[in-house]
């Protein structure tokens, strides 16, 4: 939050307005929580930029769906505002040996239809990710799972085929959500749709879904956790695809809040007196990802030289209005959930992300510079990408590299994640990437040989061994040491050119307060914390 300002907003990467961003030169205050509420509210209306394809938790992989479902469907664990893990439907958990996790469930927790939580429901919910026919987006979290069993009426035991220190953390994500087995079986294809809804455990329950317009939640007065009893009776999520309409709604008061407001709205909102924008810690980073291992950026020396001439602070000031910090590696400080001093020291030692034109020229002189243009993809759907592209193009020219900006149709731009054909002809791709919880190991698994998101096709047996080793190390210091060594390999290869780590942002009308500002809105019942401002 900017001191003394009524509001100031910036978008996270990937959700910007096509309008040009405003420059933001003022420092921002990063907070985990907004001030505690003084009372309750009858209703709030929250803007989301798209409509969920489904509220079925196994297909929950986008920000809109996640930010809605987090208030309705709890998992075994959740993320606290400081990004640490805390108990949710699992009252406690034990890790008696490297391949066993035991979860003790809360006695007295009930689904929204009044049915009690049972171990069988948990087993059903977790096993659903293992069913190839279901097609869960979170099946990867269960890659090392051997069995999931009810070891007591309120106890579930998960046995792994190999040690996996990330498995437990994944249960704070949609991978750990619990639904009543009978509900899924009875509703069949209607489950998670506007007609069928969901029946979970959470501070809010599903009320209605008016396709293309709104999704409405109402407070569950029987929710098990008194500390998270919803302080607002009804939350309406308004589906507003036009960023300008979102801003107008926030200014008029017809919308009470939103995540990820466009940079172009900063000046209007900051001077309006209508509300406040809060900046919180995030696990996200924004990178220029190298796509083609045979193109003009095939040489890691060229990639590193390009990285060294990019003015990251200028990008932060202009593209995202100052709401972020310079990024040096793929895993940003928000992912350091343990051994922060060790990760910080390693971060400080990375010099390839430091602006140094002379050093970049000297480095490039040690190899053969490419003569063909470097194609950098941008999209009109994200206002920051043309701005970032122009900065990279200008910077590259200073060392004799030719960057060609290619404005890619929106559908093709996002198809890059899943379609190799869409990636053809692109050398650099601008995108946000983060982790679901505060552990950098999740990020660095993307660079393993054969990983679905290893677009460059990078393969290094030594790297793979370090990541595999980190996954088995329960001692945080040992795991951090392995990750830091692996990080050094990725950084030296410059497979991703890190640009900035954006802060999480949220606009909240002056009549409301209490929500976390941290990047937990996908994995924690944040709306339950919002109440009336004093």
Handedness of CA 312, 317, 322, 323 (dihedral sign): negative
405 occurs within a structural domain? yes
- 417 and 298, same structural domain? yes
Residue the block writes with tokens 């505060």 = 438
Please enumerate in sequence order all residues whose Cβ is within 8 A of that of 142, keeping only pairs 6 or more positions apart, or say none.
Answer: 126, 129, 130, 167, 175
Note whether 309 and 373 are within 8 A (CB): no
183, 216, 235: which is the final residue of a domain? 183
10 pLDDT above the threshold of 80: no
When pLDDT is averaged across residues 252-261 and rounded to a whole number, the result is 93
- 382 and 480, same structural domain? yes
Pairing of strands 232-239, 204-210: unpaired
Q: Please give the residue range of the domain that contains residue 273.
A: 1-49+206-281+504-534
28 pLDDT above the threshold of 50: yes
382 pLDDT above the threshold of 90: no
Residue the block writes with tokens 């049972």 = 118
According to the model, what pLDDT value does residue 26 have? Answer: 53
201 occurs within a structural domain? no
Distance spanning both ends of the chain, measured CA to CA: 18
Tell me the CATH number at 150. Answer: 3.90.76.10
Note whether 445 and 392 are within 8 A (CB): no
- 343 and 429, same structural domain? yes
69 occurs within a structural domain? no
- 480 and 344, same structural domain? yes
- 136 and 18, same structural domain? no
In angstroms, the CA 318 to CA 7 distance is 18
- Look at 417 and 376; give whichever has higher pLDDT: 376
What share of the chain has pLDDT > 70, as a percent? Answer: 95
517 occurs within a structural domain? yes
When pLDDT is averaged across residues 453-477 and rounded to a whole number, the result is 97
- 396 and 353, same structural domain? yes
486 pLDDT above the threshold of 60: yes
Task: Please tell me the least confidently modeled range out of 123-137, 370-384, 504-518.
Answer: 370-384
When pLDDT is averaged across residues 258-269 and rounded to a whole number, the result is 79
User: CA nearest 52: which of 177, 211, 235?
Assistant: 211
- 527 and 445, same structural domain? no
pLDDT in tens, 488-529: 999 999 999 999 999 998 999 999 999 999 999 999 999 999
- Structure confidence at residue 271 as a pLDDT band (50, 70, 90): confident
According to the model, what pLDDT value does residue 411 have? Answer: 82
pLDDT in tens, 82-100: 999 999 999 999 999 999 9
25 pLDDT above the threshold of 80: no
Chain-centroid distance of CA 294 in Å reads 30
- 378 and 475, same structural domain? yes
- 461 and 318, same structural domain? yes
- Look at 40 and 265; give whichever has higher pLDDT: 40
200 occurs within a structural domain? no
- 306 and 227, same structural domain? no
5 pLDDT above the threshold of 80: no
463 pLDDT above the threshold of 60: yes
459 occurs within a structural domain? yes
- The 3-state DSSP class for residue 60 equals coil
515 occurs within a structural domain? yes
pLDDT in tens, 176-213: 999 999 999 999 999 999 999 999 999 999 999 999 99
According to the model, what pLDDT value does residue 410 have? Answer: 84
464 pLDDT above the threshold of 50: yes
According to the model, what pLDDT value does residue 8 have? Answer: 26
61 occurs within a structural domain? no
114 pLDDT above the threshold of 50: yes
- 386 and 265, same structural domain? no
- Structure confidence at residue 2 as a pLDDT band (50, 70, 90): very low
What share of the chain has pLDDT > 90, as a percent? Answer: 85
Tell me the CATH number at 521. Answer: 3.40.190.10
22 pLDDT above the threshold of 80: no
Write down the mean pLDDT value for the chain: 93
- 514 and 497, same structural domain? no
According to the model, what pLDDT value does residue 261 have? Answer: 74
CA distances from 278 to 311, 483, 510, 520, 521 (A): 26, 31, 12, 13, 13
pLDDT in tens, 317-353: 999 888 899 999 999 999 999 999 999 999 999 998 8
Total of domains in the chain? 3
* 358 burial level (CB within 10 Å; 0-12, 13-18, 19+): exposed
According to the model, what pLDDT value does residue 412 have? Answer: 86
- Look at 25 and 436; give whichever has higher pLDDT: 436
């Amino acid at each position: 939050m900017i001191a003394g300002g009524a509001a100031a907003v910036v978008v996270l990467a990937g959700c910007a307005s096509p309008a040009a961003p405003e420059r933001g030169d003022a420092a921002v205050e990063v907070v985990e929580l907004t001030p505690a509420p003084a009372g309750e509210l009858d209703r709030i209306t929250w803007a989301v930029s798209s409509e969920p394809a489904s509220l079925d938790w196994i297909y929950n992989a986008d920000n809109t769906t996640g930010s809605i479902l987090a208030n309705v469907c709890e998992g075994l664990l959740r993320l606290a505002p400081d990004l640490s893990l805390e108990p949710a439907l699992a009252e406690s958990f034990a890790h008696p040996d490297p391949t066993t996790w035991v979860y003790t469930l809360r006695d007295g927790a009930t689904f929204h239809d009044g049915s009690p939580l049972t171990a069988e429901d948990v087993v059903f919910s977790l096993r659903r990710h293992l069913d190839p026919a279901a097609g869960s987006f979170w099946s990867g979290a269960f890659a090392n799972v051997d069995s999931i069993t009810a070891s007591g009426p309120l106890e579930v035991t998960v046995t792994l085929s190999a040690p996996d220190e990330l498995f437990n953390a994944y249960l704070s994500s949609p991978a750990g959500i619990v639904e009543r087995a009978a509900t899924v079986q009875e509703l069949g294809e209607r489950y998670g749709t506007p007609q069928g809804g969901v029946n979970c455990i959470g501070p809010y329950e599903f009320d209605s879904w008016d396709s293309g317009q709104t999704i409405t939640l109402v407070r569950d007065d029987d929710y098990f956790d008194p500390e998270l009893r919803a302080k607002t009776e009804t939350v309406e999520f308004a589906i507003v695809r036009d960023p300008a309409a979102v801003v107008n709604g926030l200014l008029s008061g017809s919308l009470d809040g939103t995540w990820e407001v466009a940079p172009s709205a900063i000046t209007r909102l900051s001077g309006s007196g209508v509300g406040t924008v809060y900046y919180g810690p995030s696990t996200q980073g924004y990178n220029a990802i190298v796509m083609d291992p045979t193109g003009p950026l095939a040489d890691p020396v060229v990639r590193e030289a390009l990285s060294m001439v990019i003015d990251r602070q200028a990008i932060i000031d202009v593209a995202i209005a100052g709401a972020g910090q310079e990024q040096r590696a793929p895993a940003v400080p928000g992912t350091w959930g343990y051994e922060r001093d060790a990760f910080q020291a390693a971060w400080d030692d990375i010099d390839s992300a430091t602006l140094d034109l002379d050093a970049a020229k000297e480095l490039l002189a040690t190899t053969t510079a490419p003569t063909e243009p470097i194609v950098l993809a941008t999209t009109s759907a994200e206002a920051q990408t043309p701005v970032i592209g122009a900065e990279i193009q200008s910077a590259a020219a200073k060392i004799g590299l030719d960057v060609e900006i290619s404005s890619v149709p929106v559908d093709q731009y996002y198809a890059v994640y899943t379609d190799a054909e869409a990636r053809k002809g692109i050398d650099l791709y601008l995108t946000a990437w983060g982790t679901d919880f505060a552990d950098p190991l999740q990020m660095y698994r993307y660079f393993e040989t054969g990983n679905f998101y290893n677009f460059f096709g990078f393969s290094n047996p030594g790297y793979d061994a370090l990541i595999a080793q980190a996954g088995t190390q329960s001692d945080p210091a040992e795991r951090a040491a392995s990750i830091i060594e692996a990080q050094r390999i990725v950084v030296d290869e410059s497979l991703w050119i890190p640009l900035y780590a954006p802060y999480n942002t949220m606009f909240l009308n002056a009549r409301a307060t209490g929500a976390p500002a941290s990047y937990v809105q996908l994995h924690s019942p944040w709306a339950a914390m919002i109440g009336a401002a004093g």
